[in-house]
Structure 1
Amino acid sequence: MKKLDIRGNEKHFDLTIYFILIIWSLIIIIPVLYVFMTSFASEKEYLTRGFFIIPRDWTMQAYEYLLGNNNFLQSFKNAILITAIGTFISISMTTLMAYGLSKKWLKGRSLMNFMVVFTMLFSGGMIPTYLVVNSLGMIDTFWAIWMTSAIAPFYLIVMRSFFASIPYELEEAARCDGCGEWRMFISIILPLAKAAIATFLLFYMVGYWSTYFSAVLYLNDPSKWPLQVFLRQMLIVNETMEESSVFMDAVVRYTPGAKMAAIVISTLPMMLIYPFVQKHFNKGMLLGSVKG
C-alpha cells in the first residue's frame, strides 16, 4: 500500500486557498482602486481612456468642487448628525433593554422576549409605519429616522444572551459591596460588554450612515436630506428630471471625477472609524452565540 502524502496534500490545499483568496481580493480591490484613482483624473481623460487605474493627469478639481458645493456639505453634515445621535440612541436603548431582559426575575420577561422576536418575523409595513410617524408629528424631522431604527431585534437578542452569560455571583458580590443597579451596570457590566458594544456600535453607525429609504420617506425638506440621498441625485436621477429636485440644477454640472470623489468622501468616515473598533469586532461577533 502506498503511504498517503499528507504534507503534500496540505501544501496543495494551502496553495488552492491562497489562489482563491488572491482572486477574490483582486475582484474587491480593483473596483475600489478604480473609483479612488478616477476621482483624481480629468473629465477628458476619463472619457477618452476608458478603464484605467493610474491617471496620467492628476487633478484635485473634483474634490475642490465638492468641498465648495453647499448642497454636498449640507448633506454631509446631516449624515454626521443622523449617524452620531442615532447611534447613541440605538446603542443606549439596545444595551439597557438587553440588560433588563437578561434578568430571569423580571416579571413579564417571556412576553417581552416574544414581542422582540415577533418583530423580526413580522413588520407593520411601510404605510402603517408612516401613518404612526405622521400622527406623532415626526415627519420632516430626524426623529422619524431615529425612532423607526432605534432598536435592531437581532442585536438586542445577541446582547441579551451575552448579559445572561455573566455569572450571577459577580452581581451578588457587587451588591454586597454596596453597589446599586446603575453603578453596577455602568462600572461592572458595561466594561465586560465592551467588545459587544463596540461591534454593534459599528453596525448601527454603518446603518445610519447608509440611511436612504427612510430619509426619502420621512424627510420632505431637501436641506435635511443625508448624504446617500444626495449621491442618488448625483449618480442616478436622469437629467430630464432637472426641474423636479432642488439638487438637479447642480447634477448636470457634476463631472465623472466629481461623482467618484463623492463616493470616496462618503466612505472615508466609516473607513477611519473601523480600525478603532476592529480589535473588538471578532470577539464581539461570537459573544452570546453559545448561550441562547
Structure 2
Amino acid sequence: MSRPVVHGTPIASWPVRLLKAVVLIIFCAAVIIPFLGVVSTSLAPAEQIARAGGLVLFPESISTEAYQSIFAGGVVTRAIGVSTFVTVVGTLLSLTVSSLLGYALSRPAFIAGRPFLLIVLISMLFSPGIIPTYLLVRGVGLIDSLWALILPTMVSAFNVVVLRAFFAGLPRELIESARVDGAGELRIFTSIVLPLSKAVLAVIGLFYAVGYWNAFFNALLYINDTTLWPLQLVLRTYVINDTQLGAAELGVEHLPPQAAIQMAILVISIVPILIVYPFLQRHFAKGVLTGAVKG
C-alpha cells in the first residue's frame, strides 16, 4: 500500500511525525528550562533560594531585590555603562570602516584593490598572536583605556569580504549614471550604495554588536582598572569564577543572596541582544546570503 502523496512528496507516517515532535520538544526544553531557571532564580525571594540550594525554576513570589542592588551604582552598574559605550561606539566605527573598505575593494577602478584584498584575506588565515598584539597595544598607550576594547578588533576580515561581495553585486549602471551626473565617490556611497545595503549592514552591525557586547578577553588582557571592566568580565569574575560580591562593591547596605545576584547579572548580559535580534531577524537571511553568494 503506497503512502499518501501531497504535491509529489509522500506524507510521513504518524510514528515518524511523533518522533520528530518528541525530539523537537526535548531540544526546546534543553534551551528553555536553563534560561527559565536563571530568570526565576534572579526573581525568587531569598528564603526560597536557600531552600532550593541556589536554583529555582518557579518562584513563589517576585523579588526585584537583586536587580535593585545591581543598579544601585556599584561595580555592575559601571560595567553596564562600559559595555554599552564599547558596543555602541565600536559597532558604529566598525560598520563605518568596514563598509568604506568593502566599497573601495568592490570598485574595479581601485588600482590597489587586489593587494588590499589579498591583505584582508591573509588576515583571515593568520593571527598575529596574543603577545605581539599585547605589545602593540601597550606600545601605543592603550592599556587601561576603553579604546583597547574597540580598536584591536574594529575590523573583521570576514565582514569586509561579505560587504565587498554585496557592493560588487549592486547594479553598475546605477553607479555609472550617478557618476555621469557629477556625483563623486563619497556622494555615490552615501546616497546610493548605503540606502541599497540596509539588509547587509543590519546583519554586519548585529555581528559586530554581539562581538563587542560578549567580549571579555581583551578586557582581561588590557584593563587593570576595575572601574573600566565591561559587563562580561564582571560576569566571568563574579559568576563563572564564583567570586563573592560584597555590599560595598554593589553600593548597597543589605546584600541579597549571591545566587540571585549572579543570575541577575547573567540575565542583564543576555537581554539586550534578545531585544535587538528580533528587529534585525528579517534582514538576517537576505543580508548574509546576498553578501556571500555574489562576487
The two structures have a TM-score, normalised by structure 2, of: 0.89
Partner letter of residue 48 of structure 2?
A: E
Residue of structure 2 in register with 1:290 after alignment: 293
2:136 to 114, 132, 136: 132
**1:143-202 alpha-carbon deviations (Å, 9 max, x no partner):** 222111111111111110111111211111112223221111111100111000000101
Residue of structure 1 in register with 2:211 after alignment: 207
Query: What is the Cα deviation at residue 218 of structure 1?
Result: 0.8
**1:11-35 alpha-carbon deviations (Å, 9 max, x no partner):** 3355544443332111111111111
Residue of structure 2 in register with 1:11 after alignment: 12
* 1:136-155 equivalent positions in 2, closer than 5 A: 136-155=140-159
Query: What is the Cα deviation at residue 69 of structure 1?
Result: 4.2
* 1:123-202 equivalent positions in 2, closer than 5 A: 123-202=127-206
Give the RMSD, CA atoms, in angstroms.
Answer: 2.5
Residue of structure 1 in register with 2:226 after alignment: 222
Distance 1:238 1:63 in 2: 18
Retained in 2: the 8 A contact 1:233–1:247? no
Retained in 2: the 8 A contact 1:35–1:260? yes
Partner letter of residue 211 of structure 1?
A: A
- 2:62 is the alignment partner of 1:58: yes
Alpha-carbon spacing, 1:192–1:18, altered in 2? closer, same or farther (3 Å): farther
Please state whether the residue corresponding to 1:233 is helix, strand or coil: helix
* 1:79-158 equivalent positions in 2, closer than 5 A: 79-158=83-162
Retained in 2: the 8 A contact 1:239–1:248? no
Query: What is the Cα deviation at residue 105 of structure 1?
Result: 2.0
Which range is displaced more, 280-289 or 7-16?
A: 7-16
Distance 2:196 2:257 in 1: 49
Residue of structure 1 in register with 2:277 after alignment: 274
Alpha-carbon spacing, 1:34–1:48, altered in 2? closer, same or farther (3 Å): same
2:260 to 257, 260, 268: 257
* 1:33-72 equivalent positions in 2, closer than 5 A: 33-50=36-53, 52-72=56-76
Instruction: Give the % identical residues.
Output: 37
Distance 2:209 2:151 in 1: 15
Query: What is the Cα deviation at residue 248 of structure 1?
Result: 10
Distance 1:195 1:75 in 2: 31
Please state whether the residue corresponding to 2:120 is helix, strand or coil: helix
The two structures have a TM-score, normalised by structure 1, of: 0.90
Distance 2:238 2:157 in 1: 34
Query: What is the Cα deviation at residue 42 of structure 1?
Result: 2.2
Partner letter of residue 20 of structure 1?
A: V
Distance 1:85 1:289 in 2: 26
